[in-house]
């Protein structure tokens, strides 16, 4: 590796990590240290910030569990709908295919936050609010465009001859999809699933309008609720602790599924 | 066969299609706390109000300015990162994972983090300035600096995403092209301008469009980091629509802002597409 | 055989149904659960009282308090989203004085006169009577009276300033002698606190926000003079530039550290300033905001009170809880422990309390000088407009007159578009 490359890599790592490291550092500091960092303090380090977050009336783990429930149910539902959908999309006649695909593309590109009000009205009308499993309905719809495009491109890569061959062998279309095609696009399914999971774990504006019960909040909403000044003091140490705790699950996901995420994003770009 | 696509299309219509028509209907009605939350037809009064609403136009400019600056910076930085990551060495996976991390974290978490980082007087930036005896910057109280701070936070978060898309593009460029260029006496600059960028164009284009429309709908970051202040200098269109609905209980006007923002986004996209085509045409001439 | 079997099961069924109906109507073990939403600090301070209430009413009422966020606006967002989504999980809400017209107009909260008589209303201190009615209907019963106060350092001056000029001069003098870093700290961030700072100051200058007849007075000469004075605090460095991003905690932090001669804050700050880590223990006095010579000082009313949700099925029980939490007993307790300003005449009259915590007299005085912010369902909008333009003046050096003219015309447009009368 060239020296300059190494240097730039270090710059890159500092850029990516320093805000996180600052949060980590703050989360272990006492309030006095945060206010006057250059003075000498008898007790610099503390676990109080974490205790404060973990001992709150609704424990932090509750939010993580809620986010996980939404994440898993959304991923499951999206993949379930997107697999047949994308298969059909990939096999449509060219003209209809192009039309449908551009409609889906427009949906994928539109800034979805603007939907919050209409979705709130829907939740009210059909009594869907404050239910984490039902929240996966709008979430699935919001992740569908991406999932459809990614999986359709994977299906398209499979030569048609393969399907014909299996038909000659006497397999039904369901069997063809189940036993021939699905195993072939497994990697694409995996990376799509991870991307959908990340999206629904992190989603904020729709969760903000669908969830009002403090017990049902997902992590991003709970964290945002922490923001805003308290009346009594500026407890940034506790905020920092909350951001650190909230980051850990995602840190693990990124480290474990790094390859799937990258291939999902890059495939999306190449063919989407 | 097409029947398999029906559930998908149905769900998409439910969540994207119906709201669109609902917003148009709402934008033609007074539907607010003043009407005791009962919709009343108002003959387009919302639209007249929108056109005369200075705050709406200020937000249009602020949102566009935020989107343009952050997307441009993201593309430039992402290209550098992609070029850097396109080389092969040991431990590449780990580094890739680390660069990806900002993108994977919930926006609200880091928005809270940035608020602390830019805090005056206790955040690290102001502390550092006071340590070296520079005057305070008051980043989050100055209308000229705060929006830059939100751009920094956004660039930090979304650059990895753009970088990966560009990285995918880089990997489609055959090495032979560069070799041929170097044999003909070209240098690294030529390689970048004559091969990399032209061949990367579709990827640059895709990430630009995608990022622009996402940045145009910026909400989480602004709501948590600045709440739209100071002096409304960081308020985005999405935040304005949200405030009108959830805080002012004016659903009719909120819907008008939503449709208005959407129209403006489409206009911006079409204009820039035409300009882009024209310039390409002119360059080719 | 089968016939008998059927008969038996019918009898069983009959027994079962009577049993269950007994359970739901019988007196023995029917506990009504009621749910109240409060901002986090109030949830913490009322914990003991709520436990006491639950023990007293064991088997009848069980109160659950949902802890809302800390920030006022965030609590409002949470309450509104739960009300908008329908089937609100709450029976009662602790609401801020400024939310009342909006909630009442939306039909979310209920008329309280069934549970609180006119006589009872008369037992409230006159300042605490304000801000509970909309269109002459009682929608809210006050829990804590909150008023804007001027905190001053008794070790640095004999008497607190009574006029803006005095405040400015004393600050400059103290800063020149390097006795304090800053003169006056207040809430200058673009948020509701800025509107509160504005209201009391502007009235003290003889200006106004909305007049009694609903006229927008933002470009009134006296209003402009007050805003100019606020701006001059920054220009003359009497207030630090950072004030433009201060809310209550930052102002408190600075004053508590001994860095400022004056602070604008709410009554809760008194207790905070007398905690162990404070550097100004025993050196603090409170008084009302400064005003120009021919005007009375004014305190912005910022009180919290309880409302009952219209869709609640346990209105009687909720009213019972509200009565308990706002009783003389509860108010004395909350005042002693948390410095919550009482709302009842009897509490203010308590000679014990007056001896124990003499500042209660200053509080009473300020409370009776207090003025609520404009009582309109579109308050959030017009306050937002005001905050934006004030923030432009303070943090962006925009011209005071131009900004206030703009604020006036936008406010007028909002009021016109609603067609509602401002009270």
What ipTM was assigned to the predicted interfaces of this complex? 0.87
Q: What is the pLDDT of residue C10?
A: 45
Q: To the nearest whole percent, how much of chain C has pLDDT over 90? A: 67
- Residue B65 falls inside a structural domain: yes
Alpha-carbon gap: A232 to the closest alpha carbon of chain B (Å): 17
- Residue B191's contacts (CB-CB under 8 Å, 6 or more residues apart) are B178, B181, B182
pLDDT score of C423 more than 70: no
- Conformational region of residue B112, where left means phi above 0, alpha means psi within -120 to 50, and beta covers everything else: alpha
Nearest to C309 by CA among C37, C117, C39: C37
A57 — pLDDT class (breaks 50, 70, 90): low
Any C CB within 8 A of B122 CB = no
Residue-range domain boundaries for chain A: 62-271
A-B C-beta contacts closer than 8 Å: 241
- What are the two backbone dihedrals, phi and then psi, of residue B274, each rounded to the nearest 5 degrees? -65, -45
Q: Do residues C258 and C279 lie in contact, with contact meaning Cβ atoms separated by under 8 Å?
A: yes
Look at chain B and report how many structural domains it folds into: 1
Alpha-carbon gap: B56 to the closest alpha carbon of chain A (Å): 15
Q: Do residues A112 and A202 lie in contact, with contact meaning Cβ atoms separated by under 8 Å?
A: no
- Residue B30 falls inside a structural domain: no
Residues of the domain holding B113: 55-249
- Residue B205's contacts (CB-CB under 8 Å, 6 or more residues apart) are none
Q: What is the pLDDT of residue A230?
A: 42
- Residue B5 falls inside a structural domain: no
Q: Determine the topology of domain C31-146+302-371 in CATH.
A: D-Maltodextrin-Binding Protein; domain 2 (3.40.190)
Residue-wise pLDDT for C269-312, tens only, equals 998 899 888 899 999 999 999 999 889 999 999 989 999 999 99
- Closest chain C CA to residue A120: C85
SS3 C66: strand
Q: Which of B138, B143, B243 sits opposite C241 (nearest CB)?
A: B138
pLDDT score of A43 more than 80: no
Q: Which of A256-260, C18-22, C61-65, C265-269 has the lowest mean pLDDT?
A: C18-22
Residue-wise pLDDT for B87-123, tens only, equals 877 777 888 888 888 998 999 888 888 888 887 777 7
What CATH number has the domain bearing residue B121? Answer: 1.10.3720.10
Q: What is the pLDDT of residue A144?
A: 94
Residue-wise pLDDT for C48-68, tens only, equals 999 999 999 988 999 999 888
Put simply, the answer to whether A232 touches C249 (Cβ < 8 Å) is yes
> Which tokens belong to B3?
């029947």
Any A CB within 8 A of B207 CB = yes
Tell me which of B282 and C166 has the higher pLDDT: C166
pLDDT score of B192 more than 60: yes
Q: Which of A201-205, B165-169, C145-149 has the lowest mean pLDDT?
A: B165-169
Q: Which helix (DSSP H) or strand (DSSP E) does residue C67 occupy? A: strand C61-67
Query: Tokens 């949470």 belong to which residue?
Result: C78
Which chain A residues are within 8 Å of B251, Cβ to Cβ? 117
Tell me which of A98 and A269 has the higher pLDDT: A98
Put simply, the answer to whether B34 touches C384 (Cβ < 8 Å) is no
Q: What mean pLDDT do residues A23-36 have?
A: 82
Residue-range domain boundaries for chain C: 31-146+302-371, 149-301+374-418
Select the residue from A119, A218, A230, A242 to test the C interface by mutation, using most C Cβ atoms within 10 A: A230
pLDDT score of C11 more than 80: no
Q: Determine the topology of domain C149-301+374-418 in CATH.
A: D-Maltodextrin-Binding Protein; domain 2 (3.40.190)
Length of chain A: 272
- Residue B67's contacts (CB-CB under 8 Å, 6 or more residues apart) are B212, B215, B216, B218
Nearest to B158 by CA among A16, A224, A257: A16
User: Rounded to whole angstroms, what are the CA distances from B56 to A22, B153, B238, C143, C377?
Assistant: 36, 24, 11, 39, 22
Distance CA C372, CA C390 (A): 19
Superfamily the domain A62-271 falls into: MetI-like (1.10.3720.10)
Select the residue from C44, C77, C79, C84 to test the A interface by mutation, using most A Cβ atoms within 10 A: C84
Q: What mean pLDDT do residues B207-223 have?
A: 91
Which chain C residues are within 8 Å of A57, Cβ to Cβ? 67
Q: Which of A210-224, B142-156, B248-262 has the lowest mean pLDDT?
A: A210-224
Which chain C residues are within 8 Å of A55, Cβ to Cβ? none
Q: What mean pLDDT do residues A14-18 have?
A: 90
Which chain B residues are within 8 Å of C392, Cβ to Cβ? 143, 231-232
Q: Do residues A109 and A170 lie in contact, with contact meaning Cβ atoms separated by under 8 Å?
A: no
Alpha-carbon gap: C1 to the closest alpha carbon of chain B (Å): 52
Q: What is the pTM of this model?
A: 0.88
Mean pLDDT for all residues in chain C:
88
pLDDT score of C19 more than 70: no
- Residue B224 falls inside a structural domain: yes
Select the residue from B230, B234, B244, B247 to test the C interface by mutation, using most C Cβ atoms within 10 A: B230
Nearest to C239 by CA among C308, C183, C187: C183
């Amino acid at each position: 590796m060239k020296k300059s490359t190494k240097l730039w890599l270090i710059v890159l790592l500092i850029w990516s990590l320093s805000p996180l490291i600052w949060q980590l550092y703050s989360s272990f500091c006492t309030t006095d240290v945060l206010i006057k960092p250059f003075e000498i303090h008898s007790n610099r380090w503390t676990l109080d910030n974490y205790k404060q977050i973990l001992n709150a009336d609704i424990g932090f783990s509750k939010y993580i569990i809620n986010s996980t429930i939404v994440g898993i149910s959304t991923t499951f539902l999206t993949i379930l709908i997107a697999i047949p959908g994308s298969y059909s999309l990939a096999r449509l006649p060219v003209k209809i295919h192009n039309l449908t695909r551009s409609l889906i593309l427009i949906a994928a590109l539109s800034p979805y936050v603007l939907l919050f009000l209409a979705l709130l009205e829907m939740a009210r009308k059909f009594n869907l609010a404050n239910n984490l499993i039902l929240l996966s309905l709008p979430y699935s719809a919001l992740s569908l465009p991406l999932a459809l495009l990614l999986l359709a491109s994977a299906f398209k890569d499979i030569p048609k001859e393969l399907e014909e061959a299996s038909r000659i062998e006497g397999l039904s279309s369901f069997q063809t999809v189940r036993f021939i095609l699905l195993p072939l696009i497994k990697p694409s399914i995996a990376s799509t699933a991870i991307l959908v999971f990340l999206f629904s774990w992190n989603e904020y504006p729709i969760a903000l309008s669908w969830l009002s019960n403090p017990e049902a909040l997902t992590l991003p909403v709970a964290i945002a609720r922490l923001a805003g000044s308290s009346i009594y003091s500026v407890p940034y140490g506790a905020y920092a602790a909350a951001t650190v705790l909230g980051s850990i699950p995602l840190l693990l996901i990124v480290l474990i599924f790094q390859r799937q995420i990258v291939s999902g994003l890059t495939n999306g770009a190449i063919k989407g | 066969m097409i029947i398999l696509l029906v559930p998908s299309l149905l769900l998409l219509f439910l969540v994207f299609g119906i709201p669109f028509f609902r917003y148009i209907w709402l934008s033609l009605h007074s539907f607010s706390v003043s009407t005791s939350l009962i919709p009343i037809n108002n003959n387009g009064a919302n639209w007249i109000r929108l056109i005369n609403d200075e705050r709406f136009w200020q937000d249009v400019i602020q949102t566009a300015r935020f989107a343009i600056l952050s997307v441009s910076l993201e593309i430039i930085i992402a290209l550098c990162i992609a070029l850097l990551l396109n080389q092969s060495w040991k431990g590449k996976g780990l580094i890739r994972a680390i660069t990806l991390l900002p993108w994977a974290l919930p926006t609200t978490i880091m928005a809270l983090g940035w608020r602390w980082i830019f805090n005056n007087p206790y955040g690290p930036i102001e502390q550092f300035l006071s340590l070296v005896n520079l005057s305070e910057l008051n980043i989050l109280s100055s209308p000229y600096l705060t929006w830059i701070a939100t751009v920094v936070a956004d660039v930090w978060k979304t650059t990895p995403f753009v970088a990966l898309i560009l990285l995918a593009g880089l990997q489609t460029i055959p090495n032979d092209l560069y070799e041929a260029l170097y044999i003909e006496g070209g240098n690294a600059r030529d390689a970048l301008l004559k091969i990399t960028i032209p061949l990367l164009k579709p990827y640059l284009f895709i990430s630009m469009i995608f990022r622009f429309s996402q940045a145009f709908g910026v909400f989480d970051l602004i709501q948590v980091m600045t709440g739209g202040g100071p002096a409304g200098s960081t308020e985005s269109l999405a935040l304005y629509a949200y405030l009108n609905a959830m805080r002012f209980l004016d659903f009719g006007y909120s819907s008008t802002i939503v449709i208005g923002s959407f129209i403006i986004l489409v206009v911006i996209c079409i204009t820039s597409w035409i300009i882009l085509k024209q310039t390409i045409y002119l360059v080719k001439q | 055989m089968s016939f008998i079997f059927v008969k038996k099961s019918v009898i069983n069924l009959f027994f079962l149904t009577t049993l269950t109906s007994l359970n739901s109507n019988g007196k023995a073990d029917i506990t009504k659960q009621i749910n109240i939403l409060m901002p986090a600090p109030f949830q913490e301070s009322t914990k003991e009282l709520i436990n006491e209430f639950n023990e007293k009413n064991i088997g009848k009422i069980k109160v659950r308090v949902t802890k809302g966020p800390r920030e006022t606006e965030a609590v409002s967002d949470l309450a509104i989203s739960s009300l908008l989504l329908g089937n609100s999980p709450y029976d009662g809400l602790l609401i801020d004085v400024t939310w009342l017209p909006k909630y009442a107009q939306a039909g979310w909260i209920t008329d309280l006169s069934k549970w609180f008589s006119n006589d009872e209303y008369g037992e409230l201190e006159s300042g605490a009577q304000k801000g509970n009615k909309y269109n002459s209907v009682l929608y809210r019963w006050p829990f804590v009276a909150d008023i804007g106060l001027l905190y001053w350092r008794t070790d640095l001056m004999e008497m607190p300033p009574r006029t803006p000029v005095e405040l400015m001069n004393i600050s400059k003098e103290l800063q020149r002698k390097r006795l304090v870093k800053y003169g006056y700290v207040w809430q200058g961030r673009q948020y509701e606190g800025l509107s509160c700072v504005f209201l009391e100051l502007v009235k003290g200058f003889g200006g106004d926000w909305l007049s009694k007849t609903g006229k927008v007075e933002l470009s009134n000469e006296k209003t402009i003079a007050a805003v100019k004075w606020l701006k001059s605090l920054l220009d003359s460095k009497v207030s630090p530039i950072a004030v433009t991003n201060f809310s209550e905690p930052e102002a408190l932090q600075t004053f508590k550290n001994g860095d400022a001669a004056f602070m604008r804050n709410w009554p809760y700050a008194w207790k905070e300033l007398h905690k162990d880590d404070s550097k100004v223990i025993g050196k603090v006095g409170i008084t009302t905001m400064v005003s120009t010579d021919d005007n009375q000082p004014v305190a912005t009313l910022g009180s919290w009170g309880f409302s009952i949700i219209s869709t609640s099925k346990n209105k009687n029980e909720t009213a019972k809880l509200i009565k308990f939490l706002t009783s003389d007993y509860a108010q004395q307790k909350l005042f002693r422990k948390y410095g919550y300003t009482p709302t009842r005449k009897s509490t203010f009259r308590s000679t014990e309390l007056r001896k124990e915590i003499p500042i209660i007299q200053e509080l009473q005085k300020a409370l009776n000088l207090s003025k609520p912010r404009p009582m309109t369902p579109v308050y959030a909008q017009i306050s937002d407009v005001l905050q934006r333009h004030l923030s432009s003046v303070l943090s962006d050096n925009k011209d005071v007159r131009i900004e206030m003219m703009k604020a006036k015309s936008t406010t007028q447009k909002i009021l016109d578009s609603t067609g509602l009368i401002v009270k």
